[in-house]
Amino acid sequence: MTLAAGGLVLGYDFGTSAVKAALFRRDGSVVARANVAYPLSLPAPGWAEQDPSHWWAAMRDVTARVLGAANVDTGEIEAIGICAQMCGVVLVDKSGSALGKCLIWLDTRSGALARRVFGGWPNVAGYSLPNLIRWLRLTGGAPNLQGKDATSKILWLRAEDASAWEQAEKILDVKDYLVRRCTDRSVTSFDCAHLTWVFDSRAGKKHWSKVLMDRLGLKESLFPRIASATDVAGKLTPVAAFELGLAPGIPVAVGLGDVSAAALSSGAIDDGAPHLCVGTSAWLGAHIPKSKVSPLTGIGSICRADGIGYFLIAPQESAGACIKWATEALGFGRDGFAEFERSAAEANPSIEAPLFMPWLYGERVPIQDENIRGGFLNISIAHTRADMAHAVYEGVALNMRWAMTEFDRLGACAGKPLRLVGGGGGSAVWCQIFADVLQRPVELMEDSDLGGAKGSAMAASVAAGWYSDLATASAMTKVARVFAPDPTLASLYAARFARFTKAYKRVRAWYRPTAIPADKGSA
């Protein structure tokens, strides 16, 4: 395809800890980029909140930084795209103002409520059989019983924050709240709608489910309109344009969730073409033609953000979060990550090396266990900090290997190269460890750390009319480097993987709430 000269799109990626933004040309090259952090509040065990006003303040700040670095006429920006962390819940009033904090994806305060609402007898994997059948039939999955999905968060807010609930005009996800601030329109994409689990995801349906809403006592009027990620949600209002320093009237795409945006930026558009996104969390993903689910592992599919086909995903709770924790906890000095990377590179893979379990905040796939926690095993007096750094990288990869077995079966992905996007791509050591542990080529994408921003820009490029659909928009993606697996390490990592899975089975009982004996007093 021959691309016309000129034109820019602006893409945003709102993660758990920061927003990244970049201006992209039609060939996908980056004109300017910036990122701005915002707070994450953990006010009580299992609680994880963010203030929506902090996202908007960060959006203003990051936009100013990008425009300052690019030195372009804002009239050259032809569309705006936004992606964000998914499974958040924001209640907004008629003016679009947030009525409180957002319960983000990490929040599990509604876990007990989820188990009450969706559990019962006869019980299958924690769900009552009638509920499980109902949700599987209509959605191809079921709400998470640990409280991490939007469904139980919504029910918790209704029960615990009556004042906000009475004033609420809409229930929005993170991305949808920001689109509302930009356009005054309440609209969501198919992928975000699906993860409310009150969405009929069946082929030929793909709309809000009256059956499921009635079951939970919810009104469809509380939920936004559903549209393709590439549709224009609305135009940038004069008020929003003034605050962001942009020209009013710029088309704003409906946008998409972060997992969908990463899939686009990987360029793995074809069915069964897998990618790996490594950020604060991580996931394996692939587009598939039909809905698939593996209830016992938590691997399943959601609607593609454009409503065409489905997207298979195997999410892992802690990836880059493990590196951040280890960098600080193991005292890697002023250089931080750079020193951690150098140390990890010094260590050699070995059957006697330390084994790291990356479950710092529970886990979803391939085990659904909110109570499990991480740790090191097999540390001896001979091991060094370098061995521990290497083990952290390796532990995340081993957990991904555990999920990959069922993921490959469902998505017909076995043996195919993995496209890698996300901030984890900034570590060449980690990319090679992924290739060696998973024993398949890892193709690192250009500007991998801008995966979400590029994916949202790709949706915006279709909204701007640059491309006819998301498949053709993949022309904006390129492979930067390929990491080939070392076949001599195959048997070593098979043995390490066997130890890793056995470790979970042996330590999981420690972390159950009932494992702590009652205090009987001192003798």
What is d(CA 58, CA 216) in angstroms, rounded to the nearest whole number? 35
Q: 316, 287, 485, 497: which is closest to 403 by C-alpha?
A: 316
- Residue 33 one-letter amino acid: R
Which residues, including other chains, have CB under 8 Å from residue 47's CB and lie 6 or more apart? 41, 107, 109
CA distance 180 to 91: 12
Burial class (CB in 10 A: 0-12, 13-18, 19+), 379: middle
Is the separation of the CB atoms in 343 and 393 below 8 Å?
no
- Report pLDDT for 56: 98
In whole angstroms, how far apart are CA 478 and each of 29, 141, 257, 265?
10, 33, 21, 9
| pLDDT, position 512 | 80
- Position 295 scores a pLDDT of 78
Contacts 24+ apart (CB under 8 A), 2-5: 3/27, 3/466, 3/475
Tell me what pLDDT residue 125 has: 84
Q: What is the pLDDT of residue 521?
A: 45
Q: Which residues pair with 419 in a beta bridge?
A: 275, 443
Distance from CA of residue 303 to its chain's centroid?
15
> 286-291 contacts: CB < 8 A, separation 24 or more?
286/311, 286/312, 286/407, 286/411, 286/413, 287/263, 287/311, 287/312, 288/312, 288/410, 288/411, 288/412, 290/203, 291/140, 291/201, 291/202, 291/203
pLDDT tens string for the chain (523 positions)?
333 445 999 999 999 889 999 999 999 999 999 999 999 999 999 999 999 999 999 999 999 999 999 989 999 999 999 999 999 999 999 999 999 999 999 899 999 999 999 999 999 989 999 999 999 999 999 998 989 999 999 999 999 999 999 999 999 999 999 999 999 999 999 999 999 999 999 999 999 999 999 999 999 999 999 999 999 999 999 999 999 999 999 999 999 999 999 999 999 999 999 999 998 889 999 999 999 989 788 899 999 999 999 999 999 989 999 999 999 999 997 678 999 999 999 999 999 999 999 999 889 888 888 889 999 999 999 999 999 999 999 999 999 999 999 999 999 999 999 999 999 999 999 999 999 999 999 999 999 999 999 999 999 999 999 999 999 999 999 999 999 999 999 999 999 999 999 999 999 998 887 655 555 444 3
Coil, helix or strand at residue 112: helix
The whole-angstrom separation of Cα 337 and Cα 359 is 20
Question: In whole angstroms, how far apart are CA 449 and each of 34, 171, 226, 278, 420?
Answer: 11, 30, 29, 9, 10
